[in-house]
Structure 1
Amino acid sequence: MLSFQANSTTLCDRITRREWLRVGGLGAFGLSAGSLRSASAAQPAATGELAASFGKAKRCIVLFMLGGPPQHETWDPKPQAPTEIRGDFGTIATATPGYHVGELMPQTAKLTEQIAVLRAMATDDNAHSSSGYWMLTGRPHSPKGQENALPGAPNNWPSLPAVVRHLKGDHTSLPGAIRLPEEIWNTGRIVWPGQDAGWLGDHADPWLVTCDPNKADFHVPDIGLPVEISPERFSRRNALRNFMNEHVPSIANTPVKRWASWQHKAVELLGSTGAQSAFALDQENAAIRDRYGRNRFGQSVLLARRLIEQGVSLVQVNWTRWKDDENVAPAWDTHAKNAERLKNALMPPMDQAYSALLEDLSERGMLEDTLVVWMGEFGRSPKINASGGRDHWGHCFSVALAGGGVRGGVVHGQSDRQGGYPLDGRVEPQDLSATVYHCLGIDPETTIRDPFGRPLTITTGQPIRAVL
């Protein structure tokens, strides 16, 4: 289903905000039309050596690997280290001379001339929630090392997708930023902070599409009229809404005015064939669907490609738990049986979908102006534990960038012999967010205003020049 993520704030009549935003209830009352908040600052072009990469990306896809993918078996193998460090797998040569990746990435290895790898990303935070907050927003969590952290002040900085939507706006009936196939959460369904617009406001919230695009009957019902509402009935409801907007000025003074832009967007969405087509995966060539992988992640990545084709500026695909995952090692959180999980459940579908996306975008002439970010909240510990797993590790891990504005065939940063700490080229999440903004044509020094009207720069980081 399509979810409008928001807190359970209630209106004066005790109806929750979420209920007001449900598309099926569009005709309950007329809401005055409103416009999305405009950008708070100009976005000047970069100058000097960074000018060529500024704004090269028209859109962005973020692939977020919940749990923390291991740097040793992916982008930063340590074949000369002892067995308890290097793990059970060898390495394979890539298309980039002298660079090797883990042997479980055979398809990705062929594409490294299009990829820039950051091998010294660091948060020094070993908690999923708080390290993830920093990676998702570019702002460190207060305090660090807090597991099961909840959304809310003081940790309510807007997520990167929210900032992008706020500054770039919505170009079509679809929102400027979308997350799928579900939000990121810890055991107990504890949702991480840093996934929504925070204090920036609901107008900038990246929409959440909770779905499984791999299901045979996949569809998103909320982008079309419910079966019990005919087009004629909807037209009458919309006419009533317009009438009330024009002839009942007192509505402008009610609390419901705050949600006007959401209802206006929902009306647009219902009438948009482009939006409905974007979600119609059954219209995609079967060979392309097979190429991405017939699983939830693969089809979600394919859906992301279809959404950016329809004008969405940023799509974040979350690799979250699969139905057979156990709490001891869910998703990429391989505390136990690291080698088995990687070989059988994690690396093959990731390698397939990630490589398919890069190849598909390239063949469509879209990779040059589409930024693709591969990341997680942290990495895994250098030493394999007694359960055959790797534990949380925020001191040094890897992130990969490809596409618009990024120089491929680059490996930036170096970890020590155990893959545990940076030796050089250390970067932090605010530098990653600054790089994404830069590639999307947003000056990292752009300011947005908090609820008190104070101008705050969208990031404190600097674009990573070595990969641009």
Structure 2
Amino acid sequence: MLRLLGPGVRLCDGWSRREILRIGGLGVLGSGLSLADLSGAEVPSVAPVLGDSTFGRAKSCILLFLMGGPPQHSTWDPKPDAPAEVRGEFGPISTKVPGLSICELMPRTATVADKICVLRAVSTRDNAHSSSGYYMLTGRPHQPMNFENANPGPPNDAPSLGAMLGRLRSTRGDLPPSITLPNRIVNTDGSVWPGQDAGFLGRSQDPWLLNARLSSAGYRIQEIDLPADIDLVRMERRKDLFDRLQHGFDALEHDPVARRMDERSVRAFDLLHSPRARQAFRLDHEPESSRNQYGMTPFGQGVLLARRLVERGVRLVQVNWYRGPDEPPANPCWDSHTNEASRLRDVLLPPTDRAFGALVTDLESRGLLDETLVVCMAEFGRSPRLDGNGGRGHWGSVFSVALRAEACAGARCSDRQTGSEPTLAKGKSVPKIWPRPSSTAWATRRRRSFAIRWGGHSRSVEGK
């Protein structure tokens, strides 16, 4: 990835994402939306439960990734009638959608529930962070499944959602088509999850990686600000010198490494030379009331920055949950192997609920809600029963995903699940297991066929 700052986020590397964004533009849980739709492809038919097909209006996507695996029981799918060891400590609250309840620790989200839909039957059947995360980030099952500490590389080198979008669509203005923040996902041992870069598409399609603690005082991204001793005139001179040097390397025109360096250099100069692009990252230009609305937490400010970026033309922003230095090493982020109740009540759900509710409300007030797909997901969920340490294990068999898309606002796209394998809701046609790929494909650099759409209409993209 194009790395700008700092270290990555780590998760546990012991034994201890459903079917939502299956390859290409968020093939959201079989609902018919894909990256091809975001790039202007013909909109496929959508199951009747989702209503009219209007996904084609989506111009941008904000993907909120709660790495570690939230418990579906204490977020989107409470089970008040289950035994205590299943339902957990927290009860349900009603929402603006009749019959839809969510966890009592999500009151702000409950007020915007009529603008989202919850899919409660997502499944990867993979209980390892790395490999299930690869599945959710690329739409491809890892080989082998249930494999922890998996590192990028063949055969698990499918491109990420952001990379596919960058390949399908050019930038809008000086900002890149896809940005990931505030860090890359790694396990406790430092191994980087596969599925976060462009894979076999080549590094020139990597999403931009922005590493920064966005809630820190005086937050700035020095790499996109000119140093104090370099003004625009001096930068122009440097670019002129760079261009002259480039002409001396004409013999390397067909060398992939040299070509990749040239593409990155041009993008870097464009970003440095564009005050408008740099302003997109300036959270200090937001009113204090706006920043407080999202919450002065790393996740809240990351979600606010995502709104600023899509508002200025970035097509996909992935906001990963930030792991702070004080988090317990045994259950960082949402990986709640112990003390689940206190982690949810004191650390995890309040900032998530605040930021998610603020994002939906803010997008609506700015007229961006119907043009922005919002997805909140993780690599998997948690096991049905609490264990002796008050936590839950990894559970890829069934978990929940929430999304905002105009076609399914206020809909319940899947029925309540018991915690076992997902099934089709009676009388519904929304698939709960990833469908097989259609003929929508592109040719990779090695001219092998690669499906970017799993079901729906066909579209071909010529590979470079």
> TM range, normalised to the smaller chain?
0.7 to 0.9
Q: Secondary structure at the match of 1:422?
A: coil
Structure 2: give runs of 5+ residues left out of the alignment: 6-35, 458-464
Question: 1:421 maps to what in 2?
Answer: 421
- Which amino acid is the alignment partner of residue 394 of structure 2? H
| Equivalent in 311, 316, 319 of residue 318 of structure 2 | 316
- Which amino acid is the alignment partner of residue 389 of structure 2? S
Question: 2:113 maps to what in 1?
Answer: 112
Could you tell me the TM-score, scaled by structure 1's length?
A: 0.84
8 Å CA contact 1:430, 1:459 repeated in 2: no
Q: Secondary structure at the match of 2:253?
A: helix
Report the alpha carbon displacement of residue 342 of structure 1 after superposing the two structures with TM. 0.4
8 Å CA contact 2:214, 2:302 repeated in 1: yes
Return structure 1 stretches of 4+ with deviation > 6 angstroms. none
Counterpart-to-counterpart distance in 1, 2:246 and 2:150: 42
Q: Secondary structure at the match of 1:398?
A: strand
Q: Structure 1 residues 365, 44: CA separation in 2 closer, same or farther (over 3 Å shift)?
A: closer
8 Å CA contact 1:139, 1:459 repeated in 2: no
Could you tell me the TM-score, scaled by structure 2's length?
A: 0.84
Q: Structure 1 residues 344, 461: CA separation in 2 closer, same or farther (over 3 Å shift)?
A: farther
8 Å CA contact 1:63, 1:318 repeated in 2: yes
Q: Secondary structure at the match of 1:330?
A: coil
Counterpart-to-counterpart distance in 1, 2:115 and 2:367: 13
8 Å CA contact 1:413, 1:423 repeated in 2: no
Q: Secondary structure at the match of 2:412?
A: strand
Number of residue pairs aligned between Structure 1 and Structure 2 = 416
Report the alpha carbon displacement of residue 308 of structure 1 after superposing the two structures with TM. 0.7
Q: Structure 1 residues 242, 420: CA separation in 2 closer, same or farther (over 3 Å shift)?
A: same
Counterpart-to-counterpart distance in 1, 2:247 and 2:395: 58
Report the alpha carbon displacement of residue 267 of structure 1 after superposing the two structures with TM. 0.9
Counterpart-to-counterpart distance in 1, 2:260 and 2:411: 47
Q: Secondary structure at the match of 1:411?
A: coil
1:72 maps onto 2:73 in alignment? yes
Question: 2:18 maps to what in 1?
Answer: none
Stretch of structure 1 that moved more, 43-52 or 160-169: 43-52
8 Å CA contact 2:4, 2:223 repeated in 1: no
Report matched runs for 1:27-66 at 5 Å. 44-46=41-43, 52-66=53-67
Question: 1:122 maps to what in 2?
Answer: 123
Counterpart-to-counterpart distance in 1, 2:447 and 2:215: 44
Counterpart-to-counterpart distance in 2, 1:161 and 1:445: 21
Residue-by-residue CA offset, 1:26-48 (whole Å, 9 max, x unaligned): xxxxxxxxxxxxx9xx9641355
- Which amino acid is the alignment partner of residue 168 of structure 1? R
Counterpart-to-counterpart distance in 1, 2:277 and 2:318: 17
Residue-by-residue CA offset, 1:341-387 (whole Å, 9 max, x unaligned): 00000000000000000000011110010000000000001100000
Residue-by-residue CA offset, 1:57-106 (whole Å, 9 max, x unaligned): 00000000010011101111110000000111111001001111111111
Structure 1: give runs of 5+ residues left out of the alignment: 6-38, 435-443, 464-468
Question: 2:227 maps to what in 1?
Answer: 226
Question: 1:379 maps to what in 2?
Answer: 381
Counterpart-to-counterpart distance in 2, 1:340 and 1:356: 24
Q: Secondary structure at the match of 1:239?
A: helix
8 Å CA contact 2:201, 2:445 repeated in 1: yes
Counterpart-to-counterpart distance in 1, 2:446 and 2:227: 41
Q: Secondary structure at the match of 1:412?
A: coil
Residue-by-residue CA offset, 1:302-322 (whole Å, 9 max, x unaligned): 000001111100000000322
Report matched runs for 1:98-109 at 5 Å. 98-109=99-110
- Which amino acid is the alignment partner of residue 198 of structure 2? A
| Equivalent in 456, 463, 467 of residue 450 of structure 2 | 456
8 Å CA contact 1:79, 1:86 repeated in 2: yes
Task: Report % sequence identity.
Answer: 45
Q: Structure 1 residues 262, 317: CA separation in 2 closer, same or farther (over 3 Å shift)?
A: same
Report the alpha carbon displacement of residue 256 of structure 1 after superposing the two structures with TM. 2.3
Report the alpha carbon displacement of residue 189 of structure 1 after superposing the two structures with TM. 2.2
Q: Structure 1 residues 2, 152: CA separation in 2 closer, same or farther (over 3 Å shift)?
A: closer
Counterpart-to-counterpart distance in 1, 2:70 and 2:117: 17
Report the alpha carbon displacement of residue 249 of structure 1 after superposing the two structures with TM. 3.5
Q: Structure 1 residues 429, 459: CA separation in 2 closer, same or farther (over 3 Å shift)?
A: farther
Question: 2:19 maps to what in 1?
Answer: none
Q: Secondary structure at the match of 1:414?
A: coil
Q: Secondary structure at the match of 1:326?
A: coil
| Equivalent in 265, 268, 274 of residue 267 of structure 2 | 265
Counterpart-to-counterpart distance in 1, 2:455 and 2:327: 36
Residue-by-residue CA offset, 1:213-237 (whole Å, 9 max, x unaligned): 1111111111122334343332222
Question: 1:389 maps to what in 2?
Answer: 391
8 Å CA contact 1:396, 1:415 repeated in 2: no
Q: Structure 1 residues 175, 62: CA separation in 2 closer, same or farther (over 3 Å shift)?
A: same
Report the alpha carbon displacement of residue 427 of structure 1 after superposing the two structures with TM. 4.8
1:162 maps onto 2:159 in alignment? no
